[in-house]
Structure 1
C-alpha cells in the first residue's frame, strides 16, 4: 500500500541541520523531500494526497539516536525486580524487596533483580550470598549490579553454577571470596560467564556476559519491551554495542516478522572477530533497518563496581585496583586485525590506563594499515576518567568518545568518593569541547534509562541525583547536547547521510516534544514529554500507546 504524504507544521521544527529552524516539513514515501515554508512544502508535495499534521505548538526534532543501548538487556532488566536507588537504600530493603516475590515462585523458578549500587546502600558494601540466603535457600537468586558488570547469587545458585573454593578466577574477572577464601556469591566481569556455561552464549574474557539463556519466544519479548521504552523516549535508532549470535538471530527474527520498528546498528562482541573476518564481513553490511556497524572490545571493568583500570587506587574497594580483560599485546593484536578488516571499533574503557591501551592500539593500527584511523571513527565507550594529557592524543587520532551524561547524574558522587576530587572530571565533556572533539551523548541502557531528555539535562547542568554539581567546567550548551543526541550521534555510527537531522533526502524519523527545549528554563528541561515518535514517516508511538505498524 502506498504511503500517504505528510506535511508537518504549526510548531517549532528544529532541524539540527544547516537550515536551523524551519516552518514546515514535507514527507513522501518515508523520506523528507522539502523543509522550509509551508507554501514551499505544499508545492513540493504537488497533487499528492497529503495528511497535514498541525503540531499545535509542539516541537519537532530528528528522532533521537542512542549509540549505546543494550536493547535485549534493557528488556530483560525491565522484567526483573527493580532494586535500584532510591527504592532500595539498604541491604535490608534489598532483602525485603526480593522476599515479596517468593510466594509467587514455582519449581524451577529463579528470583532475579536488577539495579543495585553498593555506594548507594546504607552499608556501603556489596551484598553477599549470606544476605541473599535471607530471602531463600530453596530457590536460586541472582541480582545484577546497575553497571551490568557484576552479579550476586545466593549459595543455592552458587552451588548450581559449580563455583567452589577450588574455582579459579577467570581472566578479566574475579570471584568474590570471604576471609577464608570461600566464594561469597559475588561475580565480577568475565566471571559472569558461569551463567551461560550450561546453556547459553559463551564469550570468554571478551566482556561481562549479559546474554542470559532464554527461549526464542522470550527473547522476542525482550526486544518488544526494550523497543517500547526507547520509542516512548523518542529514540528511533540505536547502536547495540554487544551483539552475539543470540541478539543477531533475535533482531533478524523481529525484522522479518515486522515487529522491529527501530533501526538497529549491531556491534558484534570481539569473540566473533575471527569468524566475521573469515566470512568477509566489515562495517556497513545490512540495510537501513538492521546492519552490522562495528566490533565491540572491552578494555576494563566498571567505575561503579570498582573494576575499571585506573592509574590510581580505589578508596572503597578491597581490591584497590581494577583490571584488564586482555593483556595489552593481545588487545592490540585484535584491535589492529579489526581495523585492517575495515571494522569501526567500539572499546569499553573507563579508567585512564585502559584508555591508554586504546590509544596505543589506534596508533598501532595506523602504523600497520593503509586505512586512515580518522575515517574509521574508532570509539571509546564511556571514556570515564581520561588523563588530561590523553585528550590531545584522542583529538590527533580522530577517536570519538561516547560517554553517558546520566552516569554523572546517577553515579557522579560515588565516583568522587572512590577516586577523589579527580572524579569531578567523570565524562569530561568540557575537555572534549575545548579540543573540538565530537560531543556525543548516549545512555548505556539499562545502566541508565534510554531517556535523551534527562541525558540532555544532565549534560547541560552536571547535576547529580543528590542535587549537587559535579565538574562545573564540563557543562555543555543545550545546542551541543541536542546535537549530541541527533546529528553527532548519527556520525558516531556512520549514518549521518540518512538520519540525525531533518534535511531533504533523509529518512523521516522524528521525535515530537511537548515543548521547545529552548523555550523552557534549564530545570524544566528534564520534565519535557515526548508525545509522538515517527519512523520512516509512520507514527510508532503516541503518549497514550504504542501504535503497531
Structure 2
C-alpha cells in the first residue's frame, strides 16, 4: 500500500482507547491508514510519499466546535469592530470612524459584543448615544443574540415609536417617560432585522470562507453552525461545490418559530429534506429554536426570581405549548431539534417538549440537544439521559463573564453554571460536547479547555470548582464528542485508522502544560482531509 503522507516523531494523543498514544501516522486519500510507532509507519512510505518530521510536537484530533457562528469571523471589513472597546466613549468613537466612510442613509452594523460585561459603564448604548455618533445612518448593533441597539433612524425604518406594543416574546425598552430607548430584547429585534437588508449569498460566501480559515488557525476542523437561514445554507453549499470548505460543517436551519403551527408544518414539510442530508463536509443536522435569553442579561428563564426583583423570572420567546407543537411537528417530519435553553425553567420546558415528541416516536437516535443548558440541574440531566438527549455547552462563558453572571444571578447560581462535571457523570462523555458560541466568546478552544479544567475566570476566581473535569475529558468533549452530534462518530473525532485525517499540531504538550497556561498553547499546523489548511 502506497501512502500519501507520513508524520513521524510526534507525541500523538489519539483518544482511541485501542491505541491511546503513538508517535506516527500514515495518511492516504484523506484518511488515517496507520497509527503507531515510527518504524512501522515509516515502512509504508514510498518514493512519492511526503514525510513530515514532527520533531516531538504534540498532535491532537481536530477540534469540533459544537456551537459556533463562524461567519462572524469573516465580517471584519463589513461591520464596526466593537470587540475591543472598553468604554461608551470608545464605542461611539469606533462608530463615528466607521460611518465616516459610508453614504448617508446606508445601514451600518456592529460586530458581536457584550456591553454589560465589556464596558466600564456596564450599560447598552441608547438611541441618543447613537444619534450623536451616526446622525445620518440607521445603526444596528447586535450583541449576543438576545439584545440589539438601534438609533432613531433605525427605529423609524422599523416602524417603532413610543406607542408600538412589545411583540410576543420580546421587549422594546423604554425610559421613565415611556419613550423607546433604542434597546431591543429578544423578538423585538426582529422588527429591525425585518427591514434591514441582509447579507447577500456572495457576501456570506466570503464571510464563511474567511471565518473557517480563522477557525483552522485554532486547530478547528469541524463546526456545528446553528441558526442558519436558507441564504447561509446556500453560501455553504457553494463553498462545498467549489471545494473551498476548509472545515466540516454541520448546519442547523432556523425556520421562523413565531408562525402558527399549521404554517410551521407547511414550511418544514416544503423544505423537502430532513436531518442528516449531506456528507462528511456539509450536512443538515437539525432545526434550532430559541426559548430564552442569557445569564448575563437577566433574561434566562428561571424558576427562582432574580436577586433584587421578586417578580423577574427572565424571558421566554414563546409559550411552552407552542414550543411543544414546534418540536413534535419537526420530529414527525424527520428533524433533529436543538433548543437554546439557558435557565432551569427553560430547560424544563424543553424537556417537556422532547418528552412529548418521544411519545410520538423515539427521539434517542435523533440526538436532540439542550443547547447551552447553562443552569441545568442534576435532576434535569437525569431526564435528558432517559430520553437520549445531548448537552452542548460552552465553558468559555466563565472567562470574562463570570462576574457579570454572579451579579445577575448571585454567587450560588453562578457557581453551578456550566455544569460540566455533573453532565459527564449523568449523560456520559459522548453526549456532552463543547464549543464557544463565537462571537459571544473567544474562538480559541484552548481557553475553553482551560476553563473546563480549572473553572477560573480571567481574574483567577474559581466558580464551582466541583464542576471541573479532567484534561482528557475536556479534550474528548471538544473533539470526539462533537462528532456524535452530527452522527459522524464512526468517521471522525479520534486519530484512528479508517477515520478522516483531521488533526492539529500544537506548540506545547496539552497534557503537561501548566493548567493556567493551557489557553496560551498555539496551533502550528492544521490538517483537514489529509491536507494542510493552516501552518504557522
Q: Same fold (TM over 0.5)?
A: yes
Deviation (angstroms), 1:280: 4.2
The answer to whether structure 1 residue 379 and structure 2 residue 364 are counterparts is no
| Distance change >3 Å, CA 46–CA 58, structure 1 → 2 | closer
Cross-structure match for 1:38: 38
Cross-structure match for 1:347: 339
Q: Check the 8 A contact 1:8/1:53 in 2, yes or no.
A: yes
Q: Check the 8 A contact 1:336/1:364 in 2, yes or no.
A: yes
Cross-structure match for 2:259: none
The answer to whether structure 1 residue 313 and structure 2 residue 308 are counterparts is no
Deviation (angstroms), 1:286: 0.8
Structural mapping, 1:508-519, within 5 Å: 508-519=501-512
Structural mapping, 1:392-541, within 5 Å: 392-420=382-410, 421-438=412-429, 439-541=432-534
Deviation (angstroms), 1:37: 1.7
Q: Check the 8 A contact 2:456/2:462 in 1, yes or no.
A: yes
Deviation (angstroms), 1:110: 3.8
Q: Check the 8 A contact 2:30/2:530 in 1, yes or no.
A: yes
Aligned counterpart for 1:180 among listed residues 177, 181, 188: 177
After superposition, the C-alpha distances for 1:497-546 in whole angstroms (9 at most, x for unaligned) are 11100101111111111111012111121111111111111101111xxx
Aligned counterpart for 1:96 among listed residues 81, 93, 109: 93
2: CA distance, partners of 1:300 / 1:286: 30
2: CA distance, partners of 1:124 / 1:525: 29
Aligned counterpart for 1:327 among listed residues 319, 329, 332: 319
After superposition, the C-alpha distances for 1:229-259 in whole angstroms (9 at most, x for unaligned) are 1111111111111111111111111222232
After superposition, the C-alpha distances for 1:336-395 in whole angstroms (9 at most, x for unaligned) are 2222333221110001111001111121122221x3x22222110110112343232222
2: CA distance, partners of 1:394 / 1:188: 29
With normalisation by structure 1, the TM-score equals 0.90
After superposition, the C-alpha distances for 1:21-76 in whole angstroms (9 at most, x for unaligned) are 11211100111111112232234x36462111111121111111111111223433
1: CA distance, partners of 2:76 / 2:317: 24
2: CA distance, partners of 1:77 / 1:359: 38
2: CA distance, partners of 1:467 / 1:172: 37
Aligned counterpart for 1:166 among listed residues 163, 166, 182: 163
The two structures, once aligned, show a CA RMSD in angstroms of 2.2
1: CA distance, partners of 2:46 / 2:333: 49
Q: Check the 8 A contact 1:273/1:295 in 2, yes or no.
A: no
| Distance change >3 Å, CA 46–CA 123, structure 1 → 2 | closer
Cross-structure match for 2:285: 293
With normalisation by structure 2, the TM-score equals 0.92
2: CA distance, partners of 1:74 / 1:13: 29
Deviation (angstroms), 1:126: 2.4
Q: Check the 8 A contact 1:355/1:380 in 2, yes or no.
A: yes
Give 3-state SS (helix, strand or coil) of 1:405's partner: coil
Q: Check the 8 A contact 2:116/2:404 in 1, yes or no.
A: no
Give 3-state SS (helix, strand or coil) of 2:396's partner: helix
Deviation (angstroms), 1:285: 0.7
Q: Check the 8 A contact 1:62/1:510 in 2, yes or no.
A: yes
Structure 1 gaps, min length 5 = 201-212, 544-549
Give 3-state SS (helix, strand or coil) of 2:6's partner: strand
1: CA distance, partners of 2:81 / 2:312: 29
Q: Check the 8 A contact 1:297/1:347 in 2, yes or no.
A: yes
Deviation (angstroms), 1:124: 3.1
Structural mapping, 1:193-342, within 5 Å: 193-198=190-195, 213-271=198-256, 274-315=266-307, 320-342=312-334
Q: Check the 8 A contact 2:108/2:139 in 1, yes or no.
A: yes
The answer to whether structure 1 residue 106 and structure 2 residue 103 are counterparts is yes
Q: Which moved more, 1:341-350 or 1:479-488?
A: 341-350
Q: Check the 8 A contact 1:309/1:322 in 2, yes or no.
A: yes
Give 3-state SS (helix, strand or coil) of 2:190's partner: helix
2: CA distance, partners of 1:513 / 1:30: 20
After superposition, the C-alpha distances for 1:103-139 in whole angstroms (9 at most, x for unaligned) are 3333344443331321443333322111222313222
Cross-structure match for 1:546: none
| Distance change >3 Å, CA 472–CA 214, structure 1 → 2 | same
| Distance change >3 Å, CA 471–CA 273, structure 1 → 2 | farther
| Distance change >3 Å, CA 170–CA 73, structure 1 → 2 | farther
2: CA distance, partners of 1:516 / 1:12: 8
Q: Check the 8 A contact 2:229/2:255 in 1, yes or no.
A: no
